[in-house]
Structure 1
Amino acid sequence: MSDDLRDLPLRERKKARTRRALAETALRLFTERGYDATTLDDLCDAVEVSKRTFFRNYPSKEDVALAADSDLWSAYLDHVATSEMDGPLLEALRLALGTTLSAMDPDWDRRFLATRELAEAAPALQAHSLGYCQDTTRALVEAVHGSVGADTDEVLLSLTVEIFVATWRTASLHWTAQGGRGGRDGLTKLVEETFAKLPAALTSTA
Structure 2
Amino acid sequence: MGTPPPPLDAADRLPLRERKKLRTREALVDTALTLFTERGFHRVTLDELCDAVDTSKRTFFRHFTSKEDVAMAPLQDLWRAFLADLETREPTGGPLMELLQEALLTALDAAPATDWPQRVRRSRRLAAQNPSMDAHGLRFCQDTSRAAVDVLHRRFGLPATDAIRPRLAVDLLVAAFHCALDSWSSLPGDPTRGNLATHLRDACAALPEALTLTTAPAS
TM value normalised by structure 2: 0.88
Of residues 27, 40, 45 in structure 2, which corresponds to 1:39?
45
Of residues 126, 140, 150 in structure 2, which corresponds to 1:142?
150
Tell me the secondary structure at the aligned position of residue 43 of structure 2: coil
Of residues 153, 169, 173 in structure 2, which corresponds to 1:160?
169
Q: Is the 8 A contact 2:85 2:107 kept in 1?
A: yes
Tell me the secondary structure at the aligned position of residue 36 of structure 1: helix
Aligned length: 206
- Give a deviation string over 1:112-166, Cα, whole Å, max 9, x none: 1111121111111111111111111111111222221253633211111111111
Letter in 2 for 1:99: T
Q: Is the 8 A contact 2:184 2:199 kept in 1?
A: yes
Instruction: Give aligned-pair identity as a percent.
Output: 48
Structure 1: tracts of 5 or more residues without a match: none
Q: Is the 8 A contact 2:79 2:104 kept in 1?
A: no
- Larger deviation: 138-147 or 149-158? 149-158
Q: Give the match for residue 99 of structure 1.
A: 106
Shift in CA distance, 161/180, structure 1 to aligned 2, threshold 3 Å? farther
Q: Does residue 59 in structure 1 map to residue 65 in structure 2?
A: yes
Q: Does residue 80 in structure 1 map to residue 80 in structure 2?
A: no
Taking the aligned partners of 1:57 and 1:13, their CA distance within structure 2 comes to 14
Q: CA deviation at 1:197?
A: 1.0
Structure 2: tracts of 5 or more residues without a match: none
Q: CA deviation at 1:99?
A: 1.5
TM value normalised by structure 1: 0.93
- Give a deviation string over 1:43-83, Cα, whole Å, max 9, x none: 00100111111111111111000010121111111111111
Taking the aligned partners of 2:88 and 2:36, their CA distance within structure 1 comes to 35
Letter in 2 for 1:187: L
Shift in CA distance, 63/204, structure 1 to aligned 2, threshold 3 Å? same
Q: Is the 8 A contact 2:118 2:190 kept in 1?
A: no
Letter in 2 for 1:95: E
Q: Does residue 28 in structure 1 map to residue 34 in structure 2?
A: yes
Give the root-mean-square deviation of aligned CA atoms. 1.6
